[in-house]
Amino acid sequence: MGFFDSILGRTKPRQADLDALFNVPSAAITLQASLGLTPTGDGSVCYRAAAGPAFTDTQAEVVELLRTTSDHAPAVSVSEDEFGFTWLEIDHPPFDPGTSDLGALCTDLHAVNTGLEAAGFGPALLCSLIPFVDSSGRRLGLVYLYKQGTFYPFAPVPGGGHERDVLLERTVRDLLADELPMEQDPSRWLAIWGAPGL
């Protein structure tokens, strides 16, 4: 940042630290022990798809990479929501604390983000989502904001409608403050109604 930027109060935007995704498995243990929330095993990356063959080819390459990573590769699908954003969903088997590896999902999410970033489409990335659920059906999305490099909780109230469980969201923010870079500005806690897994 230059001299005039500091005088005029301008700041550089926080850079994405995609490695923060690898701290989610530890945070998931905290959520399970404290609130009974376990990962569903699924996750997704949201972005604004660009027009043209370069983006289409890059997206196809990322999907193919995920589908061929191992004998137990996840199912991968791409959809567009009502607002025109694209969701690349990664569908692992339902999470089992005894046998599942949440790290594999985080690695897949990291690969999608870095693949699009490396091809020059970083500005199109919006967020990554890891859904959680408890025994009563209450759901929580742990959302990573690419441009901020921070996480925030999104908890839709069960039963439809557009209501949020604000108490749960704030509880999760405080609970994970020492494990993840949590977004402290609630105005950035975007409502992602209809996101995959929520």
Helices (H), 12-84: 24-35, 53-67
The verdict on residue 53 lying in a domain is yes
Helices (H), 50-165: 53-67, 102-116
Give the count of domains, the chain.
Answer: 1
What per-residue confidence (pLDDT) applies to 14?
47
The verdict on residue 5 lying in a domain is no
Percent of the chain whose predicted confidence (pLDDT) is above 90: 70
What per-residue confidence (pLDDT) applies to 71?
67
| Tens digit of each residue's pLDDT (9 = 90 or more) over 88-98 | 999 987 766 65
Q: Name the more confident of 10 and 45.
A: 45
The verdict on residue 163 lying in a domain is yes
| Tens digit of each residue's pLDDT (9 = 90 or more) over 45-62 | 999 998 889 999 999 999
| Tens digit of each residue's pLDDT (9 = 90 or more) over 105-140 | 999 999 999 999 999 999 999 999 999 999 999 999
Closest CA to 72 of 104, 106, 111: 104
The verdict on residue 86 lying in a domain is yes
As a whole number of angstroms, the distance between CA 112 and CA 125 comes to 10
Q: 5 pLDDT exceeds 60?
A: no
The answer to whether the CB of 35 falls within 8 A of the CB of 172 is: yes
- Taking CA atoms, 43 is separated from 56, 66, 106, 121, 167, in Å, by 21, 13, 8, 20, 23
Structural domain boundaries enclosing 157: 14-188
The verdict on residue 146 lying in a domain is yes
The answer to whether the CB of 47 falls within 8 A of the CB of 113 is: no
